[in-house]
Amino acid sequence: MEREEDEIKEIEEDSKHDDANEVSTLGDEMTKLRQELVAVQEELRKAREESDKNLNKLKYLMADFDNYRKQLEKQLASKIESSKAELLLKFLSVRDDYLRGFEMAKQAKAEAVVLEGLEVILKNLDSLLKSEGVIEIETTGTPFDPNVHDAITFSYKDDVPENTVTDEIRRGYMLNNKVLRPSLVGISKKIVKNTVNDTGKIEKETES
């Protein structure tokens, strides 16, 4: 009987020892898992930081590319507008020559059918220029504006305000709110009277 009790105690002690070993092993595994989890979280944090850096770099690259694209588009548009302006200036020179020829034909009293044909061509040319956005600059009777007018002559006038455009020597034009060709004009100047001489003259007349 005592032997059986000893065996039971031995079995219980072995069982307790095994349980302790299992608990110890489980604790070691939990510690190891926690360490691995911490390591994984650290790697994830670093990966996120690297991802954020790469994303910011990509955003900067995209912004730089967008600015570069807009700059190229702006330069291209400017070049197209400049080329268009140069071409239209040539058309305006042709119109000037054509208008002079037309005026000479009228002065020479050319046949009516010829004059009508020439006038139709002039209207077509003006229509073409207008369709391209070319607008005439107002001149005669308007105040002189150095931004759109070039004054090449002047005349003394008392019946109009000073610096008023009185003559249009060459017509000017605008294109897209920019001066394509300034108008060549004549402007008015006031007659300046010498009041000192006039006063002296009056005094002499009074003395006599």
Domain map (residue ranges) of the chain: 136-208
- What CA–CA distance (Å, rounded) separates 151 from 169? 9
Cα angle, residue 16 at apex, residues 15 and 19 outer, rounded to 5° = 85
149-156/178-181 β-pairing: unpaired
Provide the pLDDT confidence category of residue 192 given band limits of 50, 70 and 90. Answer: confident
112-139 in b/e form (b: 16+ CB < 10 A) is eeeeeebeeeeeebeeebeeeebeebeb
Classified by CATH at the fold level, domain 136-208 comes out as Nucleotide Exchange Factor Grpe; Chain A, domain 2 (2.30.22)
- In DSSP terms, 186 is beta-bridged to 153, 167
Contact 132, 174 (CB under 8 A): no
> Could you report the per-residue pLDDT of 43-73, keeping only the tens digit for each?
898 888 889 889 899 999 999 999 999 999 9
Per-residue pLDDT band for 32 (boundaries 50, 70, 90) equals confident
Question: What is the per-residue pLDDT across 91-149, written as a single tens digit (0 to 9) for each?
Answer: 999 999 999 999 999 898 888 898 999 999 999 999 999 999 999 999 999 999 999 99
